[in-house]
A and B are shown apart, each in its own frame.
Chain A
């Protein structure tokens, strides 16, 4: 028993299944498998595992291949196989019945399609047996039909399940997006409704008289939001930057995103401890440390 296990673990069965062995080695493995059921079983498992691997890589052949290949195979096997049948088959009796008409039918020009009369291979066995056989065949046919039906329903159901699952995943994503947007809106709403926030109107300067924006400033929590109504379009590489002026000293309150600058909603800016005036300037992308006063677009006092 010991050395059987050792034999199995030596990896020779895998080599056999992968076709690495010489004919003599193959014969030795087959003999071992025949003598020891454990070896035979293990070998069958190895072969089956490779079968699974092979089948997992199945590819439906390209269109048209079936007709070409089957057609060629049929012409190749049809003519010569009948004349030279070195048939060691156990069913010599069946062959004897089948071969007679086959040989005569195959005589016309080889390569041409051969029409062969249907030969009832096993004619008239005992009537009782044939009744049973017929009943069994009918039962088998019925069962095959039912199987095919059930199989196709199962497949349909599975496909539908996959479709539903992907649908569900899409819904989940949509819901997430909606939820996030809802959260943003709620926050904006809170800011807009809060009494603690002071609304500071920023009016356009000489450079942009029609510009118009609002800052919402909460002196208690130091929160600052900006709400753009209308600002001139920016040249490439520039961004609006909000400044708080506290006793004349400019403090950076952060840059406006492109969405905010086009008036899509509130944007939360940097916290500002104290300010009397807010203003916006045009700065290089990312903002500046000190405001470029010549580009001041809007300004407003609290």
Chain B
């Protein structure tokens, strides 16, 4: 069942996993891995853009998720949202420290494009909302902004600066893009 969409995962299945993790059931981590690793690895890889670093971050994130699980509050949001944030934060920290070393703030756009090209879906997933569908729904300017915000760790003001457009426009495009995405939920 590892290729079942997380978004369409029934709440009961998620609650069961949360209960087992709260009960410190270590075997639940295997289940967690099988269900979430592809999504988490995809996000991590697109941020750090290197396989070995992605593996390190994924491992670090899993350990962190286990140890910090008591701070997860299901009433505040879904498990996927919480774990995604942990992975994104760790990945962004990673590239920030790397960029500090190299001294360049932004070299990302081309790399992220190659990353997108590499990530052609290897398997047909009927219920999975794929990249193709998203590319169809979002205009390129919206997608670019979401990519910068989500995968490059830019703030909205940094996006405005990078693309040389007003902050208001960034906010509007980000909001519209997110609206479009939330309509994709079946």
Contact = CB atoms under 8 A, between A and B. Distances in A.
Nearest to B132: A56
B147 to A, nearest CB: 9
Interface stretch (A66-74, A225-233, A235-243): A66-74
A95 B21 CA distance: 12
B172 to A, nearest CB: 8
B41 A59 contact: yes
B81 A47 contact: yes
What's the interface size class on B, roughly?
Answer: 35 or more
Contact of B33 (A14, A57, A69): A69
A183 interface: no
Nearest to B130: A56
B162 interface: no
Contacts of A85: 24
A95 B24 contact: yes
Given A50-B181, A57-B119, A73 B62 contact: yes
A171 interface: no
Contact of B5 (A14, A55, A77, A158): A55
B-side interface mostly: helix
Interface of B: 1, 4-7, 22-24, 26, 29-30, 33, 37-39, 41-43, 45-46, 51, 54-55, 58-59, 62-63, 66-67, 70, 76-78, 80-81, 84-85, 88-89, 116, 119, 122-126, 128-131, 133-134, 146, 149-151, 155-156, 171, 174-175, 178-179, 181-182, 184-185
A11 B174 CA distance: 8
Contacts of B33: 66, 69-70, 73
B78 A76 contact: no
Interface of A: 9, 11, 14-15, 17-20, 30, 43-62, 65-66, 68-70, 72-74, 76-78, 81, 85-91, 94-95, 98, 148, 151, 154-155, 158-159, 162
A88 B71 CA distance: 9
A13 to B, nearest CB: 9
A66 B41 CA distance: 11
Contacts of A72: 59
A266 B142 CA distance: 55
Given A14-B178, A148-B1, A61 B37 contact: yes
B85 to A, nearest CB: 6
Contact of A98 (B24, B59, B66, B76): B24
B6 A51 contact: yes
Given A14-B178, A19-B88, A85-B24, A61 B58 contact: yes
A77 B67 contact: yes
Nearest to A72: B59
B20 to A, nearest CB: 10
A48 B182 contact: yes
Contacts of A90: 22
B82 to A, nearest CB: 9
Given A69-B55, A69-B58, A81-B67, A51 B23 contact: no
Nearest to A147: B1
B26 A53 contact: no
Contacts of B175: 9, 11, 14
B171 A69 contact: no
Contacts of A59: 38, 41-42, 45, 119
18 contacts: A15-B155, A19-B89, A44-B77, A48-B81, A49-B179, A50-B150, A51-B84, A52-B184, A54-B42, A55-B42, A57-B46, A68-B55, A77-B26, A89-B22, A94-B23, A95-B24, A154-B126, A155-B126
A45 B185 CA distance: 10
Nearest to A11: B171
Contact of B24 (A19, A60, A65, A89): A89
